[in-house]
Amino acid sequence: MMNRIAPFALLALAVALYFALPYNLAFLTRILIMAVLVLSLDLVLGFAGIATLGQAAFYGAGAYAAGLFAIHAWADPIAGLVVAGVAGAVLAFISGLIVLRAHGLTLIMLTIAVAAICHEIANKARDVTGGADGLRGIRMEPVLGLFEFDFVGQTGFWYALAVLAAVFTFLTLLTRAPFGLSLRGIHESPERMAAIGTSVYWRRVAAYTLGGAIAGVAGALSAQVTQLVSLESFSFTLSAEALIMLILGGTGRLYGAVLGTLVFMFVHHWAAANDPFNWLFVIGALVLAVVFFLPRGLVAVPTALKRLGGQNAGS
């Protein structure tokens, strides 16, 4: 029941926040974009069990691909999403062929290295990417030829929300399909899945590639809405924060990825606004509390409350 209600509850919450915070649409849109990125990480880590700290590599590839495509080819937003998705998928597939042959700490270090290499390439290719100054001059056409991007951010918000809903629906169908179920099996016991004839390596490569495509779409959203791409798109901090958001919400639960993003971003915003120098203590305390008391993430709160209620009733 929870799995069916949660997506509609999150959608209703997004619409409510739009009307409750009309002057913070840029911040709300950033949450939606980050949610798409965290969903891509959930597919890779939560379902396929691939430990990574380099998801920013595909996010940045999508951002630069969408920005360059808009500047030099066609400024249509939907076409830019497709190009960015392809860019993220290609980078994920090529790098995945190498990094997914490793395991454990070696795998994590290789994913970080891929993002670091992409960061350095973007920094050195100043004539193409703008280097440390960022990629500027991005001008987008109206979405579907009807809705122009406005200064207030209304179009950007609804555009990002529509893309998030589409990605969420796609991943819901994918994870319930045989392919998604096989990923869960690989996550739990790759040896058993290999014993029944499943190609574990290529299934992991496919999941990694799909995750890269979705991360690329998230990067495209950021480039199109802000009309700027910076080297921070490849930063380790972005990958680490996405992982923290996923852990907070709960891995292997798509709505947990969205919930974790929402909670992290609001706590981050509130803490940084109240104490710009020590806000990391608040984030650290939140993560520790979830890890110790809710190891399955915030999605486990209803189950924990029900269990607590049953214990109180029994006593």
Q: pLDDT digit string (tens) for 163-182? A: 999 999 999 999 999 999 99
Q: Give me the residues paired with residue 147 across strands.
A: 143
Q: Give me the residues paired with residue 135 across strands.
A: 229
Q: Using the predicted structure, report yes or no on whether residue 106 has a pLDDT greater than 80.
A: yes
The confidence score (pLDDT) of residue 310 equals 61
Instruction: Say which residues have a Cβ less than 8 Å from residue 101's Cβ, sequence separation at least 6.
Output: 201
Mean pLDDT of the chain: 92
Split into its structural domains, the chain has a count of: 1
Backbone angles phi, psi at 229, to 5 degrees: -130, 125
The percent of residues in the chain predicted with pLDDT above 90, rounded, is: 79
Q: How far apart are CA 301 and CA 25, in angstroms?
A: 28
CA-to-CA separations, 76 to 81, 86, 181, 202, 268, in angstroms, rounded:
9, 16, 36, 34, 33
Summarize the confidence of residues 126-146 as an average pLDDT. 92
Q: How far apart are CA 149 and CA 196, in angstroms?
A: 51
The confidence score (pLDDT) of residue 312 equals 58
Q: Which residue range(s) make up the domain with 56?
A: 2-314
**Please, where are the H alpha helices in 1-55?**
2-20, 25-41
Q: Using the predicted structure, report yes or no on whether residue 314 has a pLDDT greater than 70.
A: no
CATH of the domain at 177: 1.10.3470
Q: Using the predicted structure, report yes or no on whether residue 279 has a pLDDT greater than 60.
A: yes
The percent of residues in the chain predicted with pLDDT above 70, rounded, is: 95
